[in-house]
Amino acid sequence: MYSPLEILDDLEIGAIGNQDTEIRGSVEVAFVSFRLYNLAANFSRELADYIIYMIDVSAGDKIPRKGGPGITQADLLVNNKTDLAEAVGADLSVMERDALRMRDGGPFVFAQVKHGVGVEEIVNNILPSWEAATGKKRH
């Protein structure tokens, strides 16, 4: 399993308010996180080399079916907090079916990131793009 420190070498991030982030130093990977409360909200593919769209299973199993650019266009869809599915009545098989349909077979992962479940699969989806962008190989 990879730790963030293995991937993020020499990273300094200074945030000013909630709007501006400055990255200085030698950066191979920077994760920028923001919340989209509107599934139809647009995002620009030009702003990132690789886009991960993470949804919370506790929001219900209808989320993948609702579509929107994050669901349909992100490089990777992560369905996080699968351990809460039963408690909120979310059916993971429905989420899988809808993710396959809405993403036209594009990659998605079921995860419990807090507990390390699915993290290796997420990394394995990201690494080929990182390797292609940097010309480096990760062992």
Are 82 and 24 part of one and the same domain?
no
Stronger pLDDT, 39 or 80, i.e. the higher one: 80
96 lies in some domain: yes
Are 49 and 7 part of one and the same domain?
no
Are 23 and 60 part of one and the same domain?
no
Are 28 and 38 part of one and the same domain?
no
What CATH number is given to the structural domain containing 64? Answer: 3.40.50.300
Least confident of 19-28, 44-53, 103-112: 19-28
Stronger pLDDT, 80 or 138, i.e. the higher one: 80
Residue 115: its pLDDT value, please? 95
Task: List the one residue out of 118, 39, 33 whose CA is nearest residue 81.
Answer: 118
139 lies in some domain: no
- For the record, the structure tokens of 63 come out as 């989320």
pTM: 0.75
Distance separating alpha carbons of residues 35 and 132, to the nearest angstrom: 28
Are 107 and 58 part of one and the same domain?
yes
Residue 7 has pLDDT above 60, yes or no: no
Q: What are phi and psi of 93, to 5 degrees?
A: -70, -35
63 lies in some domain: yes
Strands (DSSP E) found in 6-139: 12-16, 20-24, 52-56, 76-80, 108-110
Q: Which domain holds residue 65?
A: 33-134
47 lies in some domain: yes
pLDDT tier, 10 (very low <50, low <70, confident <90, very high otherwise): very low
